[in-house]
Amino acid sequence: MKASHTLAAVLAAGALLGGCASNSSQPYYGSNDGYRSGYDNTASAGYGTIESIQVTNGEGRTSGAGAIVGGLVGALAGNQVGSGGGRTAATVAGGVAGAAIGNRVESNRNAAEGQQMYSVNVRLDNGEYRSVTQDSVYDLRVGNRVRIVDGRVYRY
């Protein structure tokens, strides 16, 4: 019976901590003079002109796998400590700590691999500014007329 409670606690901790992992394709890199970071997917498209393109690194982007694996390993390690309610607390604490460490390790690995991202700043026809971060810019250049669809910038 204890094993099923422990397994349930480990799975719950892994699921909770997996939800804490960031896999956003539009991370926020700080203030950039009135540009709105990311893209509101409720609108289908926006048209505008590219004002600037900046190269950034992929730091902060994770798939969540590091957090899940770290959470499971941490929970299993925490389960080896104490007994009764103390063991459950150690299992949960180990899962939380393991997930945080696993997520950070994955993030550092991505940054070390030199994963480049591009922040494309667009002045929309309606006067708004958008900053869209994507993994490539293909043939995009400053001054191009573009369309933003589902959080990506395309020439037209």
pLDDT tens figures, 30-46:
444 444 544 443 344 68
**Furthest-apart CA atoms within the chain: distance in Å:** 66
pLDDT tens figures, 39-79:
443 344 689 999 999 887 655 566 778 888 888 888 888 88
Question: What is the rounded CA–CA span in Å between residue 25 and residue 48?
Answer: 21
- Residue 90 structural domain: 2-155
40 Cβ neighbours under 8 A, 6+ residues apart: none
**pTM higher than 0.85, yes or no?**
no
For the chain, the domain total comes to: 1
Question: What is the rounded CA–CA span in Å between residue 56 and residue 46?
Answer: 23
Query: Helices 85-112 and 65-78 sit at what angle, rounded to 10 degrees?
Result: 150
